[in-house]
Structure 1
Amino acid sequence: MRRGNQTEIRRSRLLRSDVYRVGASGLSSRPTRVILSALGIAIGIAAMIAVVGISTSSRAKLDAQLASLGTNLLTVQPGKSFGGEDVTLPAESTGKVGLIRGVEKTGAVATLPDVNVYRNRLIDPSMSGGMEVQAAGLDLLGLLDGTPRQGTWFTEATASYPTAVLGGIAADRLGIVSPGSQIWLGDTQVTVIGILDALPLAPELDTSAFVGEAFATSRFGWDGKPTVIFERSADAAVEAVRDLLPRTVNPENPENVSVSRPSDALAAKNAADLAFTGLLVGLGSVALLVGGIGVANTMVISVLERRREIGLRRALGATRGHIRTQFLAEALLLSALGGLAGTALGFGVIAVFAETNDWPISVPPAVFAGGIGATMLIGAVAGLYPAIRAARTPPTAALNG
């Protein structure tokens, strides 16, 4: 358009619908090659997603097994004073531990001194059977991943009454086979309301009889000081929490507090996570590289075979930008087709493998989005050179080629 002495040139542009149409037409004209090329991309992406999914599902299974070993469980106990005397934990210790950042669960037991467990009043007081009486809170059983073999754990109501829950070994030694039986704690008769299965995270408590904290205070004069505090935190926070526990429990004399070291299983879990991460990055990179090479190969061959088409379009007025956009759109569509098919195929492999091995299906949604996105990126990079080469083809040379 001419205005005065100035000439305005409008640059020709393709609409989005036109870009999609010309890109799709280039693929639809060679369906066999497109299917084989997309299949190659799909296999690469499926392999990447399957490896990631199988690895994360396996890791979820492993994490669950390691968590059952108490990898994030720490215990706090009174140590010795500088002079070697026995010390006690402050009564407010359990509450303080629960305020530490990263702590998820906390609970405690307190051994009641001079209180033994007997089946009946006729038992010789010296024959306690090595069993102890522990004051326990309502959250202790869940904290230790314990389960009742029979009966129930304490509630707010039963914790204040003369009731007891027996560890598995303690129940066997007393000959208690079901709740409702009567036992004696010192000179106090109580009713058994539950019998526990073995506590794998605290096997030392299997020989104990538990009573509610409220009942321990009212009947046996418990002063509220815990004997052992159990704490569970996020795996990543275990070391930081461990450093804070002594100063939190006893700010004046943190050296009088003994804290267990983290489980060796936690170190094994962290090492497994690192190994899995390295494996995923390596295999994922190889799969994407294979897919990118397939796209580049397909597009280069397409440019060589379609020189006459390119020359004809240039002769009819198509600009270099039009040609470049067309071939880049074909590369992206081909990549998207292969990525979507590979994602579906990879998920199917994960589902079958997890079902066969009784694993949970644990695949981060970002893996699917990342797989398709990476495929599109690789497709764009791989298709860029053929697109530029096609755009630079002279019309006369293309028509005469």
Structure 2
Amino acid sequence: MSRRRASLAPARLAPRDVLHTGSAGMRSRPTRVVLSALGIALGIATMIAVIGISASSKQQLLDELDKLGTNMLVVTPGTDLLTGRKIPLAPDAAGRVARIDGVEHVGATGTLPHTVRRSEKIPDTITGGITVQSASQDLPATLRATLRSGTWLNQATGRYPSVVLGDVAARRLGIASAGGQVYIDDQYFTVLGILDPLPLAPEIARSALVGQDVARERLGFDGRPTTVYERSADDRVAAVHDLIPRAVDPRTPRDVGVSDPSAGLRAKAATEGAFSSLLLGLGAVALLVGGVGVANTMIISVLERRYEIGLRRSIGATRGQIRGQFVTESLILSGLGGAAGIVLGALATGVYAVSGGMPWVIPLWAVGGGFAATLAIGTLAGLYPAVRASRLSPTLALHAA
């Protein structure tokens, strides 16, 4: 008796046979396969694109921070608590900051009460939002500024009517390269250079910068800086931040403001994925809808293939093998959709990154997690149809067919 039972034991299907039987229904209905996998593909594509675009934007900010540095501080006048007016910095404020241990570069600017225009024919009320400022010669080294065109002010050119424009100021004035002229306080100044964008000093981008000597002689500059920029060693930033107010104004250090312009970029990089959570939720909903579509497809497949199920059961297929067949079919269907979605999401991220001049970054955990999610969805979507198929009576299935 034991030998007879052993001989009647069901044969175990090899993995190749499981894949073959699981993909049989898909091969006979390719259009349905494409439409069912499309829902999964769109959900995964949305999730990959959202994560990839967020990661690319964050990497761009981090690269920008690496280039600009996080060791720059900006010193500005404080505000009088009684009158609400700005308290001017001392004329030698830049020199006082430079004497602090750990400070490497110091540059200063002073705001002037003038406007800059293309010619005297333009009313002085049309300022274009451009500020005229005096600038020290070491300001570019402090800001790590580069020039898109021309040269910076030096000891010679800083004595004469010459000006360097920020990139925004140049654009608003309609000046594309060095060599032109602008009108400041009833006299023409020659444009020596145009700066590249400065994310850590947007006020410089909207400024027309002149030398301190010509600012004193022709524009009424009193020598008091309105902003002092400093670069210190990375390990001394916190200490320098605490020392600057006492160095600039030992009697009332509270009247000196010190800020870190890179903090905004760091905060933006840290919170880059905040809004992405909502979009990820939408992608998850799309993925869930795709899973429901797969489940519906599998249920219809079971109904249409009752004869096949009954025939397989009548020739010895076990319930477990029937369940395995339909779960495998659901996994293959979801896996194809997931693979297509990863490719579509990566392409969408690439297009966005290239068009925006960003690095193309797609975290590997997003790819692996997205594909694992499709397999999980496929398993869940195929369980109920698979169990339903395995419970079909071979006699009833063949009779109904």
Q: Same fold (TM over 0.5)?
A: yes
Partner amino acid, structure 2, of 1:311: G
Deviation of residue 304 (structure 1)? 1.9
Per-residue deviation, 1:54: 6.3
2:146 alignment counterpart: 146
Q: CA 1:246 to 1:11, structure 2 compared with 1: closer, same or farther past 3 Å?
A: farther
Aligned to 1:304: 303
Distance 1:229 1:131 in 2: 14
Kindly indicate whether the alpha-carbon contact (under 8 Å) linking 2:105 and 2:141 is maintained by their aligned counterparts in 1. yes
- Say how many residue pairs are matched: 312
1:206 counterpart SS class: strand
Which letter does structure 2 place at the counterpart of 1:207? V
Letter of the 2:276 partner, please give it.
T
Farther-moved stretch of structure 1 (334-343 vs 32-41): 32-41
Question: Which whole-Å deviations, capped at 9, do the CAs of 1:315-358 have from their partners, x for residues lacking one?
Answer: 33322222222111111110111222233344455556677x65
Assess, with a 3 A threshold, how the Cα gap between structure 1 residues 92 and 382 changes in structure 2: closer, same or farther. Answer: farther
1:288 CA displacement: 0.6
1:171 to 162, 172, 190: 162
**Map of 1:65-80 to 2, 5 A cutoff?**
74-76=73-75
CA contact (8 A) 1:167 1:205 kept: no
Letter in structure 2 aligned against 1:283:
L
Q: Which amino acid aligns with 2:210?
A: T
One-letter identity of the residue aligned with 2:150: Q
Aligned-partner SS, 2:149: strand
| Cα 1:300/1:256, change in 2 over 3 Å | same
1:384 maps to a residue whose letter is L
8 Å contact kept, 2:244–2:258: no
How much has 1:380 moved relative to structure 2?
Answer: 1.6
Q: 2:106 — aligned with what?
A: 108
Tell me, yes or no, if the aligned pair for 2:136 and 2:211 is still in contact at 8 Å. Answer: yes
Query: 1:295, 1:382 within 8 Å by CA — same for their partners in 2?
Result: yes
Q: 1:247-298 CA distances to partner (integer Å, 9 max, x unpaired)?
A: 3668998868641265897599579836631332222112111211111111
| Cα distance in structure 1, aligned partners of 2:269 and 2:233 | 15
Task: State the shift of 1:140 in Å.
Answer: 2.7
Kindly report which structure 2 residues correspond to 1:39-188, keeping only aligned pairs within 5 A, or say none. Answer: 39-49=38-48, 74-76=73-75, 89=96, 93=100, 95=102, 107-109=105-107, 134=136, 136=138, 139-142=141-144, 145-147=145-147, 149-151=149-151, 164=155, 171-172=162-163
Q: Secondary structure at the match of 1:340?
A: helix
2-structure distance, mates of 1:340, 1:392:
32
**Does the 8 Å CA contact 2:60/2:359 hold for their aligned counterparts?**
no
Shift of 1:363: 4.9
Partner of 2:128: none
Q: 1:61 to 1:195 in 2, by over 3 A?
A: farther
Matched AA of 2:209? D
Supply the distance in 1 between the matched residues of 2:161 and 2:102 (Cα, whole angstroms). Answer: 29
C-alpha distance 85-316 of structure 1, shift in aligned 2 (>3 A): closer
Q: One-letter code of the match for 1:230? A: E
Question: Which of these residues, 197, 211, 216, is aligned with residue 194 of structure 2?
Answer: 197
Using a 3 Å threshold, how does the CA distance of structure 1 residues 229 and 265 change in structure 2: closer, same or farther?
closer
CA deviation digits over 1:217-262, x for unaligned, max 9?
Answer: xxxxxxxxxx94435999xxxxxx9876533668998868641265
Q: Which residue number corresponds to residue 209 of structure 2?
A: 206
- Give the match for residue 114 of structure 1: none
Counterpart in the other structure of 1:38: 37
The equivalent of 2:272 in structure 1 is 273
Aligned to 1:25: 24
Match of 2:325 in 1: 326
1:197 is paired with a residue whose SS is strand
Aligned equivalents of 1:172 and 1:85: distance in 2? 24
Q: Deviation of residue 31 (structure 1)? A: 2.3
User: Relative to structure 1, is the Cα distance of residues 110 and 393 closer, same or farther in structure 2, using a 3 angstrom cutoff?
Assistant: same
Question: Does the 8 A contact of 1:94 with 1:107 survive in 2?
Answer: no
What letter matches 1:197 in structure 2? I
CA distance in 2, matches of 1:327, 1:282: 29
Q: Is 1:364 the equivalent of 2:359?
A: no
The superposition leaves residues 66-119 of structure 1 with CA deviations (integer Å, 9 ceiling, x where unpaired) of: 98xx99764147989xxx9969646564636xxxxxxxxx742379xxxxxxxx
State the secondary structure of the residue aligned to 2:106.
strand
Q: Distance in 2 between matches of 1:373 and 1:165?
A: 66
Alignment check: 8 A CA contact 1:246 1:258 kept: no
Distance 1:62 1:263 in 2: 14
Kept in 2: contact 1:42–1:338 (CA 8 A): yes
**1:153-178 CA-partner distances (Å, limit 9, x unpaired):** 9xxxxxxxxx75867996349xxx88
Q: Does 1:230 align with 2:230?
A: yes
Q: Contact 2:346/2:362 (CA < 8 Å) preserved in 1?
A: no
Q: CA deviation at 1:386?
A: 1.5
Q: Which amino acid aligns with 2:378?
A: G
Unaligned runs of 5+ in 2: 80-87, 110-131, 165-177, 180-190, 214-226
Alpha-carbon displacement from aligned partner over 1:116-155 (angstroms, at most 9, x marks no partner): xxxxxxxxxxxxxx9978463884352xx332632589xx
Alignment correspondent of 1:313: 312
> How many angstroms apart in 1 are the aligned matches of 2:362 and 2:155?
45
**Deviation of 1:305 (Å):** 1.9
Q: Aligned equivalents of 1:397 and 1:85: distance in 2? A: 95
Question: Matched residues in 2 for 1:324 and 1:375: separation?
Answer: 19
Residue matched to 1:386: 385
Shift in CA distance, 230/294, structure 1 to aligned 2, threshold 3 Å: farther
1:247 aligned partner: 242
Q: Secondary structure at the match of 2:317?
A: coil
Structure 2 residue identity aligned to 1:206: L
Which amino acid counterpart does residue 147 of structure 1 have in structure 2? L
TM-aligned CA distance change 1:395 to 1:232, over 3 Å: farther
Identity of aligned residues (%): 42
Give the structure 2 partner of residue 284 of structure 1.
Answer: 283
Query: Using the alignment, how far apart are the partners of 1:338 and 1:208 within structure 2?
Result: 63
Q: 1:95 is aligned with what amino acid?
A: G
Structure 2 equivalent of residue 338 of structure 1: 337
Distance 1:170 1:307 in 2: 92
